[in-house]
């Protein structure tokens, strides 16, 4: 994966932050670009001695938040599951009567998959956190700036 120029990286990270605020979906192919941008921005800040605790926390949150973005199909399934749960909880009938509803069928049909998706998101978030922490604390070697830094080996599979 190519490392992005720190100036361009900053622009990408800023746009990603705006997307996070709006909870906008985007194609999965952007994940690598966003990861590279956060990496480049972080390395540039580290090499210049400008990575404050506040900036580090912001960049880490942005990096880890990539785990929350799933494909459109999974997103739709999770939304349907959430709506069914709300419909079921809001139904004032007795429990026995509610088990014949569409909401109950949706919950029972998709609860295992919804749980697996949530577990997968949590695992991915932990991997991203560890990944971020591995490059956020390591200073570039002397004579190396962030723009010529090599993307860490563990990022090759991104």
Q: What is the DSSP string of 25-82?
A: ---TTHHHHHHHHHHHHHHHHHHTT---HHHHHHHHHHHHGGGG---HHHHHHHHHHH
Domain-embedded: residue 118? yes
The whole-number pLDDT of residue 26 equals 61
Do 87 and 104 meet the contact criterion of CB atoms below 8 Å apart? no
Instruction: Report the alpha-carbon distance of residue 14 to residue 11 in Å, rounded.
Output: 5
Task: Give ∠ CA 9-13-14 in degrees, rounded to 5.
Answer: 115
Domain-embedded: residue 154? no
Residue 150 has pLDDT above 50, yes or no: no
The CA dihedral of 81, 83, 84, 90, to the nearest 10 degrees, is 150
The pTM of this model reads 0.68
Domain-embedded: residue 104? yes
The whole-number pLDDT of residue 73 equals 83
Domain-embedded: residue 150? no
Domain-embedded: residue 152? no
Domain-embedded: residue 42? yes
The whole-number pLDDT of residue 116 equals 94
Please state the separation of Cα 13 from the chain's center in Å. 13
The whole-number pLDDT of residue 25 equals 59
The whole-number pLDDT of residue 88 equals 94
Q: How confident is the model over 94-146, as pLDDT tens digits?
A: 989 999 999 999 999 999 999 999 999 999 999 999 999 998 875 545 544 44
Domain-embedded: residue 78? yes
Q: How confident is the model over 15-56, as pLDDT tens digits?
A: 777 776 665 556 666 788 888 889 988 988 888 888 889 989
Do 152 and 135 meet the contact criterion of CB atoms below 8 Å apart? yes
Domain count, the chain: 1
Q: Name the 3-class secondary structure at 95.
A: helix
Do 127 and 145 meet the contact criterion of CB atoms below 8 Å apart? no
Q: Which domain holds residue 137?
A: 6-145
The whole-number pLDDT of residue 139 equals 53
Higher pLDDT, 151 or 11: 11
Domain-embedded: residue 153? no
Q: How confident is the model over 64-75, as pLDDT tens digits?
A: 988 888 777 888
Instruction: Report the alpha-carbon distance of residue 51 to residue 59 in Å, rounded.
Output: 10
């Amino acid at each position: 994966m190519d490392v992005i120029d720190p100036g361009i990286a900053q622009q990408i990270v800023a746009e990603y932050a705006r997307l996070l605020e709006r909870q906008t979906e985007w194609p999965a192919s952007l994940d690598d670009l966003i990861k590279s941008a956060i990496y480049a921005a972080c390395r540039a800040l580290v090499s210049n001695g400008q990575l404050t605790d506040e900036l580090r926390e912001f960049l880490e949150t942005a990096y880890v938040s990539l785990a929350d973005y799933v494909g459109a199909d999974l997103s739709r399934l999770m939304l349907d599951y959430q709506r069914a749960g709300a419909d079921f909880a809001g139904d004032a009938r007795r429990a026995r009567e509610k088990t014949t509803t569409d909401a109950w069928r949706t919950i029972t049909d998709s609860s295992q998959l919804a749980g697996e998706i949530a577990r997968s998101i949590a695992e991915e978030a932990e991997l991203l956190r560890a990944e971020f922490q591995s490059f956020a604390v390591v200073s570039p070697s002397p004579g190396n700036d962030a723009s010529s830094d090599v993307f860490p080996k563990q990022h090759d599979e991104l």
